[in-house]
Amino acid sequence: MRFIHAADIHLDSPLHGLAAYADAPAEMLRSASREAFTKLVDIAVEEAVDFMVIAGDLYDGTWRDYNTGIFFCREMGRLRRAGIPVYVLFGNHDAESEMTTQLQLPDNVHTFSTRKPQTFRIDNLKVALHGHSFKEKAVTTNLVTAYPAPIEGYFNIGVLHTALEGSSMHATYAPCSIAELHAKQYHYWALGHVHEYAIWQEASTIVFPGNLQGRNIRETGRRGAVIVSVSETEEVSVERLFVDVLRWESVMVDASQAGTLDEVALAVGRALEVLVEEAASSVPHAVRVTITGATHAHGALFGLETQLRAEVLAQIAAISHDRLWLEKVKIATEPLAHSEPASGRVDALADLHGLLIEAESDPEFLEMLKERLLALALQAPAELHKSVPELEHVRNGDLAKLVSEVRSGLIAQLADAE
C-alpha cells in the first residue's frame, strides 16, 4: 500500500512586497503554489497511489478568491477519475478561509470534522485514518489526547496539524510531544504546520513533509511532500517528493579577499555560478546574497547596496538569467582591524571615530536622531527602504545600531581614502 502525505500547500498565498522589486518574476511567484500542487497530483496519478493525505493549510487564511477553490476541485476531479481518495484535515489557515466552509468538494474528498476527532476506514486496505480539523485559527489545546485508540487489525494513521513541542518558527497551535504521539500506538502520524521536513521512526513513524512550495526567503531549499510505502508486514518507508517549481536560496559570499566593489561582485558571480551548476534540477532559483567577512572592501561598499545589486544582476545576466532571480543583496561585512584608527592616534579621523563611539551610548543624541529620521523612515517608499536598509533600524528604534553601522562604514571609507 502506498499513499502521499502533503501539508501546508497554501494555495495562491498572496505575495507581499513584490512591488519593491522591478525585476521580480511576479507571475512565476504567484502561480508557483498551483504548479507545485499540479505536479503532486501528476505523481499521484502516475504512481497510482492508494490515497492522499493533506495535513492542513490547504488554503491561506482569509484569501477570498474562489478561483483558488475551483482550482483545487479541478485537481481533485483528476484524482477522482483515477480512483484516488483524498483525506483533508483543516489547519489554522483553513479555519480562516471562507472556501473551507462554502465550497462543495468532489465525493472522493473526505474532510475531518472540526467538532471532534473523526475516523475514516478504507476497509479493502485495512487502513484507518484519525484526524481532528481546526474549527478556529488559534487552537492552543492538545488535540492528541482525544484521538481514539488504534483499530485492531488496521494500519492506523493519525492526521494532525501541530507545532509539536513548540517549534520556534511557528505558532504553538495544537501543541503535543513526540512521546505522546508514540504512546498513541498509531503506525504513522501525518503532520502539518511546520514547514521543514522532519521524521522520527520509533514506535510510530512521525513525519512533517514540509510545505509544498517555498514562498519567501525564510523557506529555502527543496520543498515538496512524501510518498509512504507500507509492506505486508507493516514496515514503513518514506521517500521525499520534490515538486517545487521555484526554489529560494540564501548564498553567503566571503569578501575577505576582495578590495573593491567590482571584486565583490565577481566573487558573488562565482558563487552563483556554482549554485546553478550544482543544482539537482533546472528549477529557477530566487536568491538572497549576503556579503560577509572582514574585508578591505568594507568602506568601498558603504551605502552602495543599490550599485552592488546592479553589478550582481549583470553577473546573473551572464550566467543564467532564466534560472536566477536576485531577491536581495545584503552587506554584512566588517572592516579590517587596521581600518579602525590606531590607539593613541591624534587627528581628525581619530576624533570623528571617538565622537561616533560616544554617540552610540548618548541617549540625548539618539533621541534627537530618532526624532529627525523617524518621519522619513515611516514615509519612505518601499524602493528607498530597499536601497537604504539602515532605515529599518530607525523604524525599529534601534538608533545605536544605526550609528554603529554608519561609524564602521564611514571610518573604513575615510581610512581607505587617506
- Write out pLDDT tens, residues 37-72: 999 999 999 999 999 999 988 887 666 667 888 899
CB-based contacts of 330: which residues, under 8 Å, 6+ apart?
288, 289, 290, 291, 305, 389
CA distance 405 to 216: 26
Domain count, the chain: 3
Cell numbers at 378, concatenated: 515611516
pLDDT at 27 (0 to 100): 76
Vertex 139: Cα angle to 135 and 141 (nearest 5): 125
Q: What are phi and psi of 198, to 5 degrees?
A: -155, 150
Q: Do residue 320 and residue 352 come from a single domain?
A: no
Q: Do residue 250 and residue 328 come from a single domain?
A: yes
Q: Which of 304, 339, 374 is the last residue of a domain?
A: 339
**For helices 399-417 and 363-379, what crossing angle results, to 10°?**
90
pLDDT at 16 (0 to 100): 56
pLDDT at 241 (0 to 100): 96
pLDDT at 388 (0 to 100): 65
Q: Supply the range of the domain harboring residue 225.
A: 2-242
Q: Do residue 52 and residue 176 come from a single domain?
A: yes
Q: Do residue 293 and residue 360 come from a single domain?
A: no
Helix (H) or strand (E) holding 324: strand 324-335
Quickly list H helices, 133-241.
Answer: 178-183
Q: Do residue 196 and residue 213 come from a single domain?
A: yes
Q: Which of 242, 259, 291 is the last residue of a domain?
A: 242
Average pLDDT over residues 256-275: 91
Residue of 112, 164, 136 whose CA lies nearest to 61: 136
Contact indicator for 249, 275 with CB cutoff of 8 Å: yes
Vertex 406: Cα angle to 405 and 411 (nearest 5): 110
Q: Which of 285, 305, 339 is the last residue of a domain?
A: 339
Q: Do residue 224 and residue 369 come from a single domain?
A: no
Residue 17 reports pLDDT greater than 90 = no
Confidence of residue 110 (pLDDT cuts 50, 70, 90): very high
Q: Do residue 119 and residue 57 come from a single domain?
A: yes
Q: Do residue 86 and residue 218 come from a single domain?
A: yes
Q: Do residue 142 and residue 230 come from a single domain?
A: yes
Q: Do residue 143 and residue 78 come from a single domain?
A: yes
What CATH number should be reported for the domain holding residue 47?
3.60.21.10
Average pLDDT over residues 174-184: 90
Average pLDDT over residues 278-282: 76
The strand order across the sheet containing 2-6 reads 109-111, 86-89, 51-55, 2-6, 224-230, 236-242
Residue 245 reports pLDDT greater than 80 = yes
Q: Do residue 333 and residue 346 come from a single domain?
A: no
CA distance 258 to 334: 12
The residue among 132 and 277 whose pLDDT is bigger is 132
Q: Do residue 233 and residue 250 come from a single domain?
A: no
Most confident of 209-218, 321-330, 359-368: 209-218
Residue 197 reports pLDDT greater than 90 = yes
pTM: 0.79
pLDDT, tens digit, 9 for 90 and up, residues 362-384: 677 777 777 777 676 666 666 55
